[in-house]
Amino acid sequence: MYRRTKKKLLGLLETFGRKVQRAQEAGTPSAFERLVPQTAMLRHVAEAELAADERQPYEATLTKIEQALGSLPMGTSACQELGMRLSQSVEELRQRTEGIEAKRLIVFLPYKSSMWDSLESIWEAASRDRAYCRTMVICLPYADRNPDGTPSCWHYEIEQFPKHVPVLHHESVDLAALHPDVIFVHNPYDNYNSVTSVDMKYYSDKLKKMTDCLIYVPYYVTSGGMGEFQRNLASYANFDYIIAQGKAGMPYFDEKVQDRLVPLGSPKLDKVVQMCKHPPVPPKEWRDRLAGRTVYFYNTSLSGFIGDTKRFLKKMRYVFEAFRGREDACLIWRPHPLLEATLHTMREAYVEEFESLRNMFLEDGIGILDTTPEIEPTIALSDVYLGDSGTSVTALFGAAGKALFIFNNRLYAFPREDGWRSTLFSYTPYWEDGRWLVTPTNGLWCKGQDDVFHFVAQLSDYESGSYFTCAYERHGKLFLCPLNGQEVLVLDHGDMRHIALPKSDMPYPGRFAGALADDRYLFLLPLRYPFSFASTCGRSRWSMSMASRSALPRRRRRMIGLPEAACSRTACSISRRQQRKTSSFSRRRRCSISS
């Protein structure tokens, strides 16, 4: 018996008991006749939701009740006696129901077989607990999307799951009627994934209505940080719990979801650790190519591909050529499962070049193209990782204790001795006097008397993203201006202070176009960010107040020094004022900042 069925039966029995008591007090046959529909409801639930061995005791007792109600007595004393018998039968069913240890019905809803590993160890644990759990795995259909968001091609991967996993067809189960106790999902994007989408009836807001507890298990693992876009997705509001990889990763999530985070680890890590302890037998067609060679796993990730597709494809060609004809090494190329779908949806101009590279790889026998549903067996068979850093695969190799070589996709030729210098920046760096330097990895560097740049500080927990763009030194303080971040940093005699800007939901990259400064004012220039800022750079404290640009007097607009066409939404006017030391926004949207 499931917990929901138990709760439903107890509710019906409680209602039935009250109605029996009222009929007994009324002492009329007509009062007892009104109990017949309640008996029918109990029988319907027993027949529809109980297994055969559970149903038998209920059917026997319900039959006695129906027989008693079928020959209603005449007279008050006879009605009293009937009421007592019915109350006894109801109490018997109630005690029997209370004494049953109900099982939890737990449903898992994967859509891609290659991502099943993000749920698998949870399913295995629940499946072993047969006394208290019943599990169901239901495969969901998903579609590749056209650039306008409409479905272009539907996929259904039910046949690609491991043979030991009993996967049900989605059309064979009515989730709303079943109403499981718990539903686990690994897809948090709903309608906000521009590449793929499950059927909209399985979006998180719909699933929330079909279960008592909706749990999201991330389909990825990390080596420390996490992409900012994962901080607070729209679907998080619908999840009762979000499984975090560990306590160290919890601060990367938005504070609004902290109370729903549970740091229990990742099934993906469970899987790869176990797989590497007991490596599988390689597929027959791989064995000769792997034998006696160092096996390199080449991962082409979505983030690297989307970030700079032209350079990424050049890097792929460079890697393929490096392994051509090697007798001491074997290259296993495993593209991201959604790479081709992403290519057609977001980078259609590069489809032909990608397909040409793939055909060259296969026809020239450069290596093995891995299209198997599970990544862990391939990791277990590999010795070395090659590829980007911002991907789950690096964390899996790290957990397996294997070597990693992280690629710089801007290098697609054999590097010169000093070639690394040109790859330090993903944009043209700007520094005012050549002394201070901010890198895309959010590092602050300073040129010393030896004319060499020396590392000073890491400006963010994230080592990518280009959160800051330039540094201005004024009055003994160093002002670090945002590019994709949402704060200004002030370095004052070794003390780093964070001045938070008003939060914006506008995505990065491209929040700011840069910054300008003179001896008195610092200007932050927005690109996709909806506000403009200026501040005084003097020694006194200053305040920042927000107002509509159109509401600012023309004299103030000239002082800020921005073109009339710029910053059409709002602007920040800055004036020197003595304020509190701590920063806060008042109800009038005033922010006082101590500099």
How confident is the model over 346-401, as pLDDT tens digits?
Answer: 888 899 999 999 999 999 999 999 999 889 999 999 999 999 887 889 999 999 99
> Are 135 and 253 in a shared domain?
yes
> Are 126 and 225 in a shared domain?
yes
Q: Please report the DSSP string for 311-325 in residue order.
A: HHHHHHHHHHHHHTT
pLDDT of residue 587: 30
Which residue carries 């850093």 as its tokens?
389
Q: Is residue 297 part of a domain?
A: yes
Which has more confidence, 461 or 358? 358
Residues 110, 119 contacting (CB under 8 angstroms): yes
> Are 166 and 68 in a shared domain?
no
Residues 188, 217 contacting (CB under 8 angstroms): no
Which has more confidence, 18 or 504? 18
Asked if pLDDT for residue 540 goes beyond 60, the answer is no
- Per-residue pLDDT band at 571 (split at 50, 70, 90): very low
Contacts of 559 (CB under 8 A, 6+ apart): none
Contacts of 361 (CB under 8 A, 6+ apart): 320, 333, 367, 369
Q: Is residue 414 part of a domain?
A: no
pLDDT digits (tens, 9 = 90+) for 222-279: 877 677 778 889 999 999 999 999 998 888 898 899 999 999 999 999 999 999 999 9
Q: What is the mean pLDDT of residues 516-545?
A: 66
**Across 115-119, 200-204, 301-305, least confident range:** 301-305
β-strand 261-263 against 241-244: which pairing, if any? parallel
Number of domains in the chain: 4
Contacts of 520 (CB under 8 A, 6+ apart): 536, 537, 538
pLDDT digits (tens, 9 = 90+) for 40-86: 888 888 888 877 777 787 888 888 888 888 776 666 677 788 888 88
Mean residue pLDDT across the chain: 81
> Are 176 and 323 in a shared domain?
no
Q: What is the mean pLDDT of residues 109-125?
A: 94
Q: Is residue 413 part of a domain?
A: no
- Per-residue pLDDT band at 418 (split at 50, 70, 90): low
pTM: 0.65
- Per-residue pLDDT band at 547 (split at 50, 70, 90): very low
Q: Is residue 446 part of a domain?
A: yes
> Are 94 and 123 in a shared domain?
no
Asked if pLDDT for residue 506 goes beyond 70, the answer is no
End position of a domain, from candidates 265, 296, 324:
265
> Are 223 and 367 in a shared domain?
no
> Are 193 and 74 in a shared domain?
no
pLDDT of residue 25: 82
Residue 416: other Cβ atoms inside 10 A: 9
Q: Which amino acid is at 175?
A: L
Q: Is residue 273 part of a domain?
A: no
> Are 453 and 339 in a shared domain?
no
Which has more confidence, 148 or 418? 148
β-strand 542-548 against 590-593: which pairing, if any? antiparallel
Dist CA 442 CA 465 (whole Å)? 8
Dist CA 337 CA 171 (whole Å)? 25
Asked if pLDDT for residue 426 goes beyond 60, the answer is no
pLDDT of residue 75: 64
How much of the chain, in percent, has pLDDT values that exceed 90? 37
> Are 231 and 291 in a shared domain?
no
Q: Is residue 16 part of a domain?
A: yes
Give me the domain span that covers residue 29.
3-98
Dist CA 120 CA 108 (whole Å)? 9
- Per-residue pLDDT band at 431 (split at 50, 70, 90): low
pLDDT of residue 30: 82
End position of a domain, from candidates 98, 128, 153:
98
Phi, then psi, of 590 in degrees rounded to 5 = -105, 135
Asked if pLDDT for residue 335 goes beyond 80, the answer is yes
Asked if pLDDT for residue 591 goes beyond 50, the answer is no
Indicate left, alpha or beta for 27 from its phi (over 0: left) and psi (-120 to 50: alpha): left
Question: Any idea how long the chain is?
Answer: 595
What's the half-sphere exposure (Cβ side, CA atoms, 13 Å) at 400?
Answer: 29
pLDDT of residue 578: 27
> Are 142 and 181 in a shared domain?
yes
End position of a domain, from candidates 374, 406, 438:
406
Domain CATH code at residue 137: 3.40.50
Q: Is residue 272 part of a domain?
A: no
Q: Exposed, middle or buried, 102 (CB in 10 Å: 0-12/13-18/19+)? A: middle
**Across 163-172, 224-233, 472-481, least confident range:** 224-233
pLDDT of residue 534: 58
> Are 338 and 316 in a shared domain?
yes
Q: Which among 41, 35, 95 is positioned nearest to 65, based on CA atoms? A: 35
β-strand 542-548 against 570-576: which pairing, if any? antiparallel
pLDDT of residue 319: 95
**Across 146-155, 211-220, 512-521, 571-580, least confident range:** 571-580
Dist CA 207 CA 216 (whole Å)? 11
> How does 35-62 read in b/e, with b if 16+ C-beta sit within 10 Å?
beebbeebbeebeebbeeeebeebeebb
> Are 319 and 372 in a shared domain?
yes
Q: Is residue 291 part of a domain?
A: yes
